[in-house]
Amino acid sequence: MVLKYDSHDLKDWTYRGLFYGPTHMSGAYDDAMECPDFFSLGNTQVLIYSLGNTVYYASGSYRAGIFEPRLIHSLGYGSFYAGRTMLDEHGKRVLWGWIPEKPERSHAAMEAGWSGVMSLPRIVTSNRDGSLRLEPYPALSALEDAPFRQLAPFIWSAPNGPNGRIRLTFTGTAPGRLTFGGQGAFLDVDYDPYRPESELIANGDSAPLPLAARNALDIFIDGSVVEIFTSAGACLTTRAYGKTDTSFTLTLEGTFKYASVSARTMKSISPDRLTGNST
């Protein structure tokens, strides 16, 4: 549950009652709502919170000190938790979150001495019905570098391994598959418009991408982190592990073979980055 307090000096606080709760998952996790974040987005009031292994949002109205949610949905899919937002200098609502390791990497994380990374910044906007959309922060385009080298009609070479931005616009009424890797499997993206609520699957994590005449994917790959933005306004985050000190090959199958494709390497976000491609 989320409790409400107020203060005149940010030192002494007065309890004002229950702000939100119990949630739609009352009973199992309800006492462990984490990272609540409440803000206005257009004409909608939004509460973001993390529960279980998922970030949720409740959108609705806030009147006379009472929050009345109308919609409750996941905000992000896959390996994404502890979401928090901020306003940028242009007044855009920007979402960040934590990307944990896969459970099978727990031993390797202990040996490395660290676990998990922060996500790329995501712009949050609202639709007329109060549902939310996520898009990559526009300034990320400044990191784009040289294009992948096309080897054949549906195959590209990525010399820098697991690094790049891949954008596809495709017919959304037929299945498609994208694989990206070097020696062995690394990233496998499977799209099936006839698999309700899990039309998009990447390395075992899933997200909805409903059947449509045209759909699009915007895929960011940075070491072991993969963030996939969809034309439906969702974002699927997954992790990818494997041999990385080699060139990678991008291969498209099914409806993806006929997609409009942009595939480019990305420059490092920092000149003194502490981790390499294997992270």
The domain spanning residue 95 has which CATH number?
2.115.10.20
Q: What is the CA radius of gyration of the chain?
A: 20
Domain that holds residue 29: 2-136
Name 226's Cβ contacts closer than 8 Å, sequence gap at least 6: 187, 202, 203, 219, 220, 237, 238, 239, 240
Query: Per the domain annotation, does 124 fall within a domain?
Result: yes
Choosing from 105, 136, 167, the residue where a domain stops is 136
Q: Where are the beta strands (DSSP E) in 64-118?
A: 66-74, 77-78, 81-87, 93-99, 117-118
pLDDT per residue of the chain (279 residues) written in tens, 0 to 9: 888 999 999 999 999 998 888 776 655 555 678 999 999 999 999 999 998 889 999 999 998 888 999 999 999 999 999 999 999 999 999 999 999 988 777 676 667 666 788 999 999 999 999 999 999 999 999 999 999 999 999 999 998 889 999 999 999 999 999 999 998 779 999 999 999 999 999 999 999 999 999 999 999 999 889 999 999 999 999 999 888 888 899 999 999 999 999 999 998 876 665 555 444
Q: What is the pLDDT of residues 79-89, one digit of tens each?
A: 999 999 999 99
Choosing from 81, 115, 136, the residue where a domain stops is 136
Q: Is the pTM of this model over 0.95?
A: no
How many domains does the chain contain in total? 2
Q: Are residues 97 and 78 in the same domain?
A: yes
Q: What is the pLDDT of residues 160-186, one digit of tens each?
A: 889 999 999 999 999 999 999 998 779
Q: Rounded to the nearest 5°, which phi and psi values hold at 45?
A: -100, 135
User: Cα dist. 56→23, 235, 278 in Å?
Assistant: 10, 13, 30
Q: Are residues 12 and 62 in the same domain?
A: yes
Q: Are residues 34 and 97 in the same domain?
A: yes
